[in-house]
Amino acid sequence: MKRVLVVRNDKIGDFMLAWPALAMLKASSGCEITALVPGYTRQLAELCPSIDRVIEDPGKDAKPAAHRDLLKQLKAGHFDAVICLFSNFRNAKLMWQAGIRQRWAPATKLAQLLYNHRVTQRRSQSAKPEYEYNLDLVRAFLSHNGMTAMEPTTPYLRFEGSELATFRLQQAQRLGIDAARPWLLVHAGSGGSANNLSAVQYADLIRRLGESFPEAQPVLTAGPGEQALARQVADVVGEGAVVAQDLPLPDFCRLLACGDLFVAGSTGPLHIAAALDVPTVGFFPLRRSATPLRWRPLNSEGRHLAFHPPGNPGEQVEDMSQVDMTAVAAAVTPWAREFLS
């Protein structure tokens, strides 16, 4: 077993939750690992220490020539196995057409018929975190191939201390803030991945935390298309809040690494921050497919707090306006003293 392809060609958050599985696969097998990812996660894949090569998926809506080129790349890779952490019919057909000998995926949907190694997981029940489902699939692959699984540890993404110190000083100068103060990073955008708090709720939490941690510098982070929302939150907060925007994705990751606490909804940046093991506060709707358990970030123990609207087990509550920010601040404040004081 020399070359393994790992497929996670969906959203940023989903891709980040594959990093423990990638780390286990690399440490346990020593194989050359190639990742098939969409263009918008390519730069993240290139930062991942467990990935040796990246193949960019042009997407299902690409022109036929692009699909033919992708299949040509897959065949030229001479992969011994593929592990589809994200499985749909398109991915299943591609791997079958590429002639990859071992084709692994969760045993779900009609697409499973095109895989010759399937693991029953019942992900729709959301009985455990997404990253654990990914790890279970890799464990099954390793066991089948006579390899011992080596458990991964946090952080899954890191930058050199000297590099990060220089970057922090540069960003402090760019934003007009003090590099020596603790930075409270808040990402109000959601990318449409899940219901989210309102701008007023985020601003309310920032103000409440500011009363307990006056030295904390609030920084609103924003990805493409999220700048206006970040400025809206900063305007509601008032003096002192700044907006960090227009950063290339690798530098956005470095900015998150500079944070002393990161606050966001269930979205990609939350999972990037957690992969860095920056302490995180996350907000999730109360829905089986989007629970705090299913989409639990990658933080080590004690470095993540999750909140959702009030409701009993089994209820579906997606109205994030029901999240009481007074109660949230009361819970976050004693926990955050270790990070913001």
Report the predicted TM-score, pTM, of the whole model to 2 decimal places: 0.95
Residue 35, in any domain of the structure: yes
Q: Residue 218 sits in a domain of what CATH number? A: 3.40.50.2000
Residues 229 and 316 reside in one and the same domain: yes
What's the pLDDT at 328?
A: 98
Q: Do residue 132 and residue 205 come from a single domain?
A: no
Q: Which of 144, 175, 190 is the last residue of a domain?
A: 144
**Last residue within a domain, chosen from 144, 175, 194:** 144
153 domain-assigned: no
Percent of the chain at pLDDT above 70? 99
26, part of any domain: yes
Mean per-residue pLDDT over the chain, rounded: 95
pLDDT interval class at 94 (50, 70, 90): very high
Cβ neighbors of 337 (< 8 A, separation 6 or more) are 213
215 and 109 in a common domain: no
pLDDT of residue 168 exceeding 80, the answer is yes
State whether 122 and 248 are in the same domain.
Answer: no
* 155, part of any domain: no
Mean local confidence (pLDDT), 159-170 = 97
Q: Which of 290-319 are b and which e, b meaning 16 or more Cβ less than 10 Å from the residue's Cβ? A: bbbebbbbbbeeebbbbbbbeeeeeeebee
pLDDT of the residue at 192:
65
pLDDT (mean) for 54-70: 96
In a domain, 150, yes or no: no
Q: What is the pLDDT of residue 127?
A: 86
**pLDDT of 271 over the 70 cut:** yes
Decide which of 97, 113, 144 is a domain's last residue. Answer: 144
Instruction: Round to whole Å and give the CA distance between 252 and 265.
Output: 17
Compute the distance between CA of residue 93 and CA of residue 257 in angstroms, rounded to an integer. Answer: 38
**pLDDT (0 to 100) of residue 142:** 98
pLDDT band for 136, please (50, 70, 90 cuts): very high
Please report, for residues 198, 200, 263, the alpha-carbon distance to residue 231 in angstroms, rounded to integers and kept in the order given. 13, 12, 16
**Above 80 in pLDDT, residue 232?**
yes
* Structural contact between residues 63 and 70, judged by C-beta atoms closer than 8 angstroms: no
What average pLDDT does range 174-182 have in this prediction?
97
Tell me, yes or no, whether 179 and 133 share the same domain.
no
- Look at residue 123 in the predicted model and tell me its pLDDT: 81
- 190 and 79 in one domain? no
Domain that holds residue 115: 3-144
Residue 57: inside a domain: yes
Task: Give yes or no: residues 99 and 177 share one domain.
Answer: no
Please give the Cα distance from 68 to 70 (Å, whole number).
5
Domain assignment present for residue 151? The answer is: no
Place of tokens 């994030």: 320
Predicted confidence band of residue 176 (pLDDT cuts 50, 70, 90):
very high
**Inside any domain, residue 29:** yes
Please say if the pLDDT value at position 1 is more than 90: no
The structure tokens 């990935």 sit at 51
Do the Cβ atoms of 28 and 149 come closer than 8 Å? Answer: yes
Same domain flag for 186 and 236? yes
pLDDT of residue 306: 97
Q: What is the mean pLDDT of residues 5-26?
A: 97
Q: Is 191 left (phi over 0), alpha (psi -120 to 50) or beta?
A: left
- The predicted model gives 310-333 an average pLDDT of 88
What is the model's pLDDT at position 92? 94
Q: Please state the domain count of the chain.
A: 2
Q: Do 34 and 118 sit in the same domain of this protein?
A: yes
24-50 pLDDT tens trace: 999 999 999 999 999 999 999 999 999
Residue 317 has pLDDT above 80, yes or no: no
**Are 133 and 184 members of one domain?**
no
193 pLDDT higher than 70? no
pLDDT band at residue 113 under the 50/70/90 scheme: confident
Q: Is the pLDDT of residue 314 over 70?
A: no
Residues 199 and 325 in one domain: yes
Q: Are residues 171 and 306 in the same domain?
A: yes
Whole-angstrom Cα distance, residue 94 to residue 75? 10
How far is 271 from 269, CA to CA, in rounded Å? 5
| pLDDT number for residue 194 | 66
| DSSP code of residue 8 | -
- Residue 85 burial (CB < 10 Å; 0-12/13-18/19+)? buried
The pLDDT confidence band at residue 124, using thresholds 50, 70 and 90, is: confident
Give the pairing of strands 117-119 and 102-106: parallel
Residue 316 confidence (pLDDT): 77
